[in-house]
Structure 1
Amino acid sequence: MATTPATTWDPNLYDSNHSFVWKMGSGLVELLAPKTGERILDLGCGTGHLTAQIAESGASVLGLDSSSEMIGQARAANPGIRFDVADARTFAVEKPFDAVFSNAVLHWVKPPEQAVARIHAALRPGGRLVVEFGGRGNTRRMVAALLQQAHALGHPDYAIPWYYPSIAEYSQLLEQQGLEVLRAELYDRPTPLEGEEGLRKWFTMFCGSLLDRLTSSQRQQCLAALETELRPTLYRDGVWFADYRRLRLVAVRTN
């Protein structure tokens, strides 16, 4: 999940309240179609749920994540799989892989060119890249409400930590690095959050870059205001939804 070291992650909160991250990534594993004997890199593996699913195919998998807490939990749950702490912008591999897989990660990585360069270097010629992450318009309502609260609480300089590109923008980055895009799709995926406090827990998990600036009382004020602002559009039949829009790409290294 994490690929750059600036964000602090709580693996227990991640596993207990954000299982949608890997559960909704199972279809991406099917698109990857891992085979016995292949060497596959899971970039931003989080606590290792999808890494383990890939390994069930008989492929040899390496999971990388910048969060030592996430990697610690992944290692404890999957002792037969190798997991290492690494930054998506600077990682290096000993031997090129047959495939690089990444779910719900690359929107955290800025500048994106650095991650794309490392992905290219990690693939053998003809190796494939299968990724999905937040695309143009992802969490549009949630972002607008968050920026409004940041300004109201005296942080007008706050900028969101995510990078949400269009199909054309990210495809161009890949092709400039020698990766041929075979498939690209941008689609809406409203995602149910877990429990009555699902929205609060989403912001707590993923928006520490703002919430950590606030006092305890300001934090509670912010979370309550976010619920009030977003309830009319993102709360339906007793369930909170994140207004996700995902970018899915498949590419191959051509040189």
Structure 2
Amino acid sequence: MTTALITGATAGIGAAFARRLARDGHDVVLVARDKDRLRARAAELHDQHGIEASVLVADLATDMGISAVETRLQDADNPVDLLINNAGFGNKGAFLDVPMADELTMLKVHCEAVLRLTSAATTSMRARHRGGVVNVASVAAFVPRGTYGASKAWVVQFTQGAAKDLAGSGLRLLALCPGFVRTEFHERAGMDAGNVPGWMWLDADKVVDAAMKDLARGKTLSVPDPRYKALMGATHLIPRNLLSRASSTTGRRYGPR
């Protein structure tokens, strides 16, 4: 039986990945900061699907937390076959309104943790000639959206570059770029998403289903839902100054996730 490790696994897209993978018969390692929520989620998945669900309490905004997950990914006796780098958050406020410490924490979680965990996972996977990594980014990667969008743009470029470098190794890497998803993301950041049109909201389970299909097809980029595919295609036609103004009303205050 294969094992998947999911960061940010207690809610939202991470929880949806955990449900999908457990339903498909994968053992799971759930990573997050909240021990109680992790244990409850693990027990639920075990009871519903009969798989092994273990928990790893780790804060990916710290070196200690990242190192703990790296160690688990490097465990040759209990290999991880699929890594889902989902942990992330948004900061409320425009550039210069957000404290620098919070900006740096975002880069730690969105960029450094993704880099280090992807490296740890793929090093082990390449030795076995199989495995996969899904790095959760955002459609914010493709429009001007301050530090959040810039960090997600890095995730996309890094993932696709690493996929190219690892071509022929038996590994698959995918950057997942959802739009607005109904999760705890905005509430946790204290963000008001009330001005987002209803048609722009996606279901987390459907986002995960699309990602898993694209991973199986060997794609390196997944933009779930035809509506967002059309919007992302339009970004190449719309002047960047107009994108920037639109972003200021729906992006810098909160990023799609």
Shorter-chain TM band: 0.3 to 0.5
By percentage of residues, which structure has more strand?
1
TM-score scaled by structure 1? Answer: 0.43
- Greater C-alpha radius of gyration: 1
By percentage of residues, which structure has more helix?
2
